[in-house]
Amino acid sequence: MSPTRTAPPVLPPGNLTSRTRAILLASAAVKRADSALFDAVRPSNKSRPEKIRSLIADGADVAARDEDGTTPLHHAVQARFADGDPKPSPEVVRVLLESGADPNALDGYGRSPLNEAIPIGDNRPAKRSLAIVTLLLDHGARVDEDGSTLARFNSTTAAIYALLLDRGADVTLRDERANTPLHAVARSGRAQLMELLLARGGVDLGAVNDLGQTPLCVALRQPRSEVVTLLEAAGAPVLADFPTVEGGPLPIDMPAVRQAAAERGGPKKFLKPVYASHQDLVNEMRFIDDPDHCLPVLAACAAVLGDDGRTTLTLTGDQVWRRPFFHHGDIVVKGHIDVLTPFAVTGSLLVDGCVSDAGPDSFMVIGGDVRAWGVNTDGELQVSGTVEAEVVYGSYNDNSLVADTIRARLLIEDDHAVEADVEAEHHFDIDTYQQGYGDGVPERLRAILIDEVFDEDSQLDPAELFDRLRDRHPVFR
């Protein structure tokens, strides 16, 4: 992106000293020079090192930042992903570094130039990046400066991976999901990288991530590969013991769950792999061929855990879930809840505010009831009992809302399949609603809802509708 640009200052006539005018004009010139430097260092512009030196000599700042917090060095080192992509220039990178560019500067997303320079995949475009990565390291780039451990570079070339190891990459550091480099390479299936890690030593073959998985457990989920053979030969365990802590993975008795699920008509194929925890199992539920099998699997987990393990979890304030979640019992939320991840509760979900699930990873399975002020779902939501809310709105045609009963003042199926007995004062089913353009739908909605929840084209604005519901503002006439 282009750097933040400021227009040249407007100088009011007659009320500025010549010194002040000179300072303002010089400041504007520097900003223009910074902008020119950002443009010049981009690989697509194929600038020569002499051009970069000239811009720096004219006052361009190698530490300048654009609106994303990136520096010229971030742009210059950008790795290629395909043969047709522009080639980054090691010579341009060298000029920036020798002119004082910080190889450890973090952009607004916490990424260092080294992170941007490391390519994905072992292909021809990746080869040029080896020289650039070497330059960055030679000028003091720290491998783990931005927290991007080897776990994030699990698909790069073997040459670059070996270089990172040689330059001090920590093989024990973990990413935000507690994956070690072993976990990451096990997932990518890159045998060469696994050989490098195992030969380096110092790795923990029994390390578990936030799903309770060991590296071998991760590798076994992938298509059969040499990585599994390498880990098994090194003595890696499929499962490892881990403590049960609040918010951590909950151990699972898979033989008992398989038996209980079979008694309830659960899917045999899905339950065949080794799962390390209940969270691990829930995370994979998204891939069950028949969504109707999810509730029997959840019921099997609840039966195995038993009544003694049930608890009521009470949470105060708005909640956002970004990691796979499992709870045995009920959840009470005194606020709103936004779910962006696989999420399973064996009991009921009772929410003072609104329930929202969204995004490609969202997947909710509830073994009891859902009660909330509003329910807004564009993911898969399966409820064994009743969904009860003022407004229930389902959107996105690849997912469904399944429940025994839905009780609502208003239920809208916006290209979203609903499978439930419906007890609603106003119900717009999928065939009637037609994404808001069904025959007479706009008029009917306007007779029900206040003007503030419609856009300028007189169409219902779901975002505005739920903003008002979350604020407890009226939405019905």
Write the pLDDT tens digit of every residue in 186-233.
Answer: 999 999 999 999 998 899 999 999 999 999 999 999 887 799 999 999
Q: Span 357-377, mean pLDDT? A: 95
Model pLDDT, residue 72: 96
Exposed/middle/buried for 182, CB within 10 Å: 0-12, 13-18, 19+?
buried
C-alpha of 339 from chain center: 12
Exposed/middle/buried for 103, CB within 10 Å: 0-12, 13-18, 19+?
buried
pLDDT (tens digit per residue) in 404-438: 999 999 999 999 999 999 999 999 999 999 999 99
Q: In 204-338, which residue ranges form alpha helices assigned H by DSSP?
A: 215-221, 226-233, 254-263, 268-271, 278-284, 294-305
Model pLDDT, residue 416: 92
Model pLDDT, residue 150: 77
27 has pLDDT over 50 = no
Q: What distance in Å separates the CA atoms of residue 108 and residue 105, rounded to the nearest whole number? A: 10
Every domain of the chain and the residues it spans: 18-148, 254-307, 309-470
pLDDT (tens digit per residue) in 93-136: 999 999 999 999 999 998 999 999 998 877 666 778 899 999 99
pLDDT band, very low/low/confident/very high, at 24 (cuts 50, 70, 90): very low
Q: Could you tell me what percent of the chain has a pLDDT over 70?
A: 90
Ramachandran region of residue 80, left (φ > 0), alpha (ψ -120 to 50) or beta? Answer: beta
- Answer yes or no: are the C-beta atoms of 402 and 292 closer than 8 Å: yes
Exposed/middle/buried for 129, CB within 10 Å: 0-12, 13-18, 19+?
buried
pLDDT (tens digit per residue) in 146-195: 555 677 788 889 999 999 999 988 898 898 899 999 999 999 999 999 99
92 has pLDDT over 50 = yes
Q: Span 140-147, mean pLDDT? A: 78
- Mean pLDDT computed over every residue of the chain: 90
Q: What is the CATH number of domain 18-148?
A: 1.25.40.20
Q: What distance in Å separates the CA atoms of residue 406 and residue 424, rounded to the nearest whole number? A: 7
Handedness of CA 31, 35, 38, 41 (dihedral sign): negative
Beta bridge partner(s), residue 344: 326, 365
Reduced to 3 states (helix: H, G, I; strand: E, B; else coil), residue 320 is strand
Model pLDDT, residue 280: 98
Reduced to 3 states (helix: H, G, I; strand: E, B; else coil), residue 357 is strand
